Structure 1
Amino acid sequence: MSNPVSDEATAHWPAPTVDGPVSATVSLPGSKSLTNRYLVLAALADEPSRLRAPLRSRDTLLMAQAMRGLGTGVEDAGATGAFGADWMVTPGELRGPAMIDVGLAGTVMRFVPPVAALATGDIAFDGDPHARVRPMGPIISALRGLGVTVVESDEGRLPFVVRGSGSVRGGTLEIDASASSQFVSALLLAGARFEEGLTLRHVGGPVPSEPHITMTVEALRDVGVVVDDSEPDVWRVEPGRVGGLDVMVEPDLSNAAPFLAAAVVAGGEITVPAWPQYTTQAGDHLRDLFDSMGADVSLHRDGLTVRGTGELYGLDADLSAAGELTPTVAALAALAETPSHLRGIAHLRGHETDRLKALATEINRLGGDVTETEDGLIIRPARLHGGVFHSYADHRMATAGAVIGLKVPGVSVENIGTTAKTLPEFTQLWERMLTPQDGPGRR
């Protein structure tokens, strides 16, 4: 596993510890997953789009810059709201040469190459050092199967160059997406612009994080693309126009996880407003997960409220559909009264870091009792103590450390700034949530 110290060393952040119940309403910016899907579709559309209340984080700014690099206009529009202005996206002729910085964003490194294949010219891709170990082979192989030339420096990894010819034949393609649902979404997003459309068949083990594929399919239908997903592990995208968008981006439900977890840990209640009644976001699984761990969870007109009951139980959960929630759930499990078994998440070894190894290492560093399994973690009750919780340049590792710090004095999170990947305002929102209104607060 990579060295836990980030490339941009920052001072350790002392995680606040709470003395009593919390009570707050935490408004969150838009979904990273939706913002980046909308940016790609807007770039492929045949008319301008308006993205209302998009997330502005490192990952989405990298995606916006990638679209600009390929010839798409992405500009601020309208009055600036709580989290920034809307984005007006104006499609342009896709062209190179261009250099795409993917950072550490899976959506950028996987969604943009099929778009680059539709451009004319060489489009080079590279990113952070950690990005160079993330799997890219299925996308590279898929593009070659569609007749696209890809030049690699390291087989199946960044950096590489897509030599776009201005069009992609399309047709039928098989892919092994067992390492990431993003491989499926990447090809589906561009499929309507392929000359023959795309019939994509997954061959291999179960596809993780399937709600993200459902999110992609619904986003495609929102812009008028015809998608048939009636057969398991097969998706058919008809060739045709891609319409423009005028869409309000839902709040990021996965980013809500650590804030809602604060109520589970400390007692009291946290409300996240504007929680959708129906959503394809994997973060909606928090409702069932936190309920299983002893919290009182209610979805109402004003949002989602989680109330702590004073009890925190472990759970046996298959998180294959919502692997991104694992760091928060693991942090809670480390504080629980009973053991937990988190399963179905082997694919997390290929995320920003090997999240399973990182979680086991950091929780055990604080006195925990965590064992890695082939596809998950077994977490047993243990008395934790303070210490440094390394982030591995992984935003969700950093927020997991913050959750543990609520109950364990003396925890400091290394490189808390990595939360800017999806939530630049994390520390401000966290401090504000814990600022007491009445009674005891944080120390």
Structure 2
Amino acid sequence: MVAVPVPGSKSITNRALVLAAAAQGVTVLQRPLIADDTQGCAAALTALGYDVDAPGGAAEWRIAGRPSGPAVTTASIYTRDGATGARFVPVLAAAGHGTFHFDASEQMQARPMAPLLAALRQLGARIDGDALPYTMHADGLRGGDVVLDAGISSQFLTALLLAGPLTRDGLRVTVTKLVSAPYIDITIRLMEAFGATVDREGNRFTVAPGGYTTPGTLPVEPDASTASYFLAAAAITGRTVTVPRLGKDSAQGDLAFAQVLADMGASVTLERDQVTVTGPAQLGGITVDLHHASDTMPTLAAIAPLAAGPVRITNVYNTRVKECDRLQACADNLGRLGITTTTGSDWIQIEPGTPHGGRVLTMRDHRIAMAFSVLGLRVPGLELDDPNCVIKTCPDFHQLLGALAARWEAMT
């Protein structure tokens, strides 16, 4: 068995950091993701006065919770490039008391925040501005009823749900649109692990007040979005790879990418605690809706030219407002490599072809860099303009992919 030690889930790590900061007691995260996004979230919590011991390279992180809220009444918080930190940490500040200034990188400043900030205003926070940077004047959250459009990012809904137990009266959220719905399952599962109660009836979520209590030790499973690159690598090389500790019990929606590969002809085995993919002689074409697994769109788009027929990816408008316009970035980069694509507002179609070498413009987007690195296993001369941007979620990505390719080569 050729196994890849995929690092911990960013989604789980950052949610758990925020929950642990708000909980009664000490939480130990086992095998958290150690990357720029999660370290940025930990640093933001530290700026608010939370006791977060998150050393780089450590197998465990320790967080001592403060149910009463931030330990400071004024702070400047910088959340780097990370959308999860930029959208989750403010709910802790809003539930506290004081004046807090939030800022982030230029890349993150361009990403949507307005629906979340508008909702926090309805719950009692005073916020100057509708995007980063902004200043928040907090005096606790009263709770109540909120109507939310989460069609651009499910993180808006996650942030509000995380805030629910910290409100005075509880929270009732009616969602008009929702993208990447499986991320909400992750949120609810983790909130319940920290003792919260979330009831869902259709598009209405009800969260009881009462705060959080620590589960003590919380293991973090591998990141399914990161796993997609290694599964794709096996699929296009006719090789076999296994990702341990990521199996059918996972709530991570991006694990559905394995089924996409199966529908294209790969052999996929999904067990309780691992997933294995073996690539066919050639993948087949496919039309697939990735609305709820949109972070895997670049993975599929990058390998699509190697399929026997066209690959059409639909219902992924939200990928246009990520770290970059990912849909357009995929189309432009594939074009530079000699591949024909067509795009619409929320879809892309990639025609089969033989990509040639060339320079991929990553737009400082980790997912563009990782996706096209996989294509590089089959395309000599493919280069990235910014290979280091993978530090956002998987600093060791190139080493892991190189080691996997070397192990496959040694087996021939």
Q: What TM-score do the two structures reach when normalised by structure 1? A: 0.89
Match of 1:189 in 2: 162
Q: Give deviations 1:119-173, integer Å, cap 9, x for gaps.
A: 2222111111111110111011111111211012xxx3211111122x1111111
Moved more, 325-334 or 117-126: 117-126
Query: How big is the shift at 1:438?
Result: 5.8
Q: Which amino acid aligns with 1:403?
A: V
User: What is the Cα deviation at residue 84 of structure 1?
Assistant: 2.5
Structure 1 residue 214 corresponds to structure 2 residue 185: yes
SS of 1:224's partner is coil
Aligned to 2:25: 47
Report the Cα distance in structure 2 between the residues aligned to 1:277 and 1:289, rounded to whole angstroms.
Answer: 15
- Residue from 288, 296, 299 that aligns with 1:317: 288
Q: Distance in 1 between matches of 2:365 and 2:73?
A: 31
2:34 to 56, 68, 72: 56
Q: Kindly indicate which of the two structures has a greater share of residues assigned to helix.
A: 2
Is the CA contact 2:239–2:408 (under 8 Å) kept in the aligned structure 1?
no
Judged with a 3 Å threshold, the aligned counterparts in structure 2 of structure 1 residues 302 and 227 are, in CA distance, closer, same or farther, namely: closer
After superposition, the Cα gap between the structure-2 partners of 1:132 and 1:147, relative to the gap in structure 1 and judged at 3 Å, is same
Matches within 5 A, 1:274-353: 274-300=245-271, 303-353=274-324
1:161 is aligned to: 135
Map Cα deviations across residues 266-322 of structure 1 (whole Å, 9 max, x no partner): 112111111233111022102211101211011246621111121111211010110
Letter in 1 for 2:203: D
What one-letter code is carried by the residue in structure 2 that aligns with 1:424? P
CA distance in 1, matches of 2:108, 2:211: 33
1:233 matches 2:181: no
For residue 114 of structure 2, the aligned residue among 137, 160, 163 is 137
Kept in 2, the 8 Å contact 1:71–1:91? The answer is no
Alignment partners' CA distance in 2, 1:335 and 1:382:
7
Secondary structure of 1:51's counterpart equals strand
1:8 corresponding residue in structure 2: none
Q: Is the 8 A contact 2:247 2:271 kept in 1?
A: no
User: Counterpart of 1:25?
Assistant: 3
2:178 partner SS: coil
What amino acid is aligned across from residue 127 of structure 1 in structure 2?
A: A
Q: Distance in 2 between matches of 1:171 and 1:301?
A: 39
2:391 counterpart letter in structure 1: A
For residue 152 of structure 2, the aligned residue among 153, 176, 179 is 179
Report what 2:401 is aligned to. 430
- Whole-angstrom distance in 1 between the partners of 2:44 and 2:220: 20
Shift of 1:85: 2.5
Give the SS at the match of 2:372: helix
3-state SS of paired residue (1:399) = helix
SS of the residue corresponding to residue 360 of structure 1 reads helix
Give how far 1:437 is off.
Answer: 6.1
| Higher normalized contact order (CA 8 Å, seq sep 6+, divided by chain length) | 1
SS at match of 1:192: helix
Residue 436 (structure 1) shift: 3.9
- Larger displacement relative to structure 2 (269-278 or 169-178): 269-278
Gaps of 5+ in 1: 1-22
Which residue is equivalent to 2:173? 200
Q: Which residue of 1 aligns with 2:85?
A: 108
User: Counterparts of 2:39 and 2:76 in 1: how far apart (Å)?
Assistant: 15
% identical equivalent positions: 37
Taking structure 2 as the reference length, the TM-score comes to: 0.95
* CA distance in structure 1 between the aligned counterparts of 2:273 and 2:165, rounded to whole angstroms: 37
Q: Which residue of 2 aligns with 1:72?
A: 50
1:150 matches 2:123: no
Match of 2:335 among 329, 341, 364: 364
Question: Could you say which residue in structure 2 is the equivalent of 1:90?
Answer: 64
**How much does 1:97 deviate?**
1.5
**Selected match of 1:395 from 356, 363, 366:** 366
Q: Is it true that 1:409 corresponds to 2:380 in the alignment?
A: yes
C-alpha displacement of 1:105: 1.2
CA shift, 1:383, in A, is 2.4
Question: Retained in 2: the 8 A contact 1:250–1:276?
Answer: no
Contact kept? 1:76, 1:85, Cα under 8 Å:
no
Establish whether residue 117 from structure 1 lines up as the match of residue 90 from structure 2: no
Partner residue of 1:258 out of 229, 237, 242: 229
Q: How many corresponding residue pairs?
A: 408
Match of 1:18 in 2: none
User: Alignment RMSD, CA only?
Assistant: 1.7
2:404 maps to a residue whose letter is M
Aligned-partner SS, 1:199: strand
Q: 1: distance between equivalents of 2:354 and 2:383?
A: 17
Note closer, same or farther for the CA distance 1:187–1:270 as it changes in structure 2 (3 Å cut): same
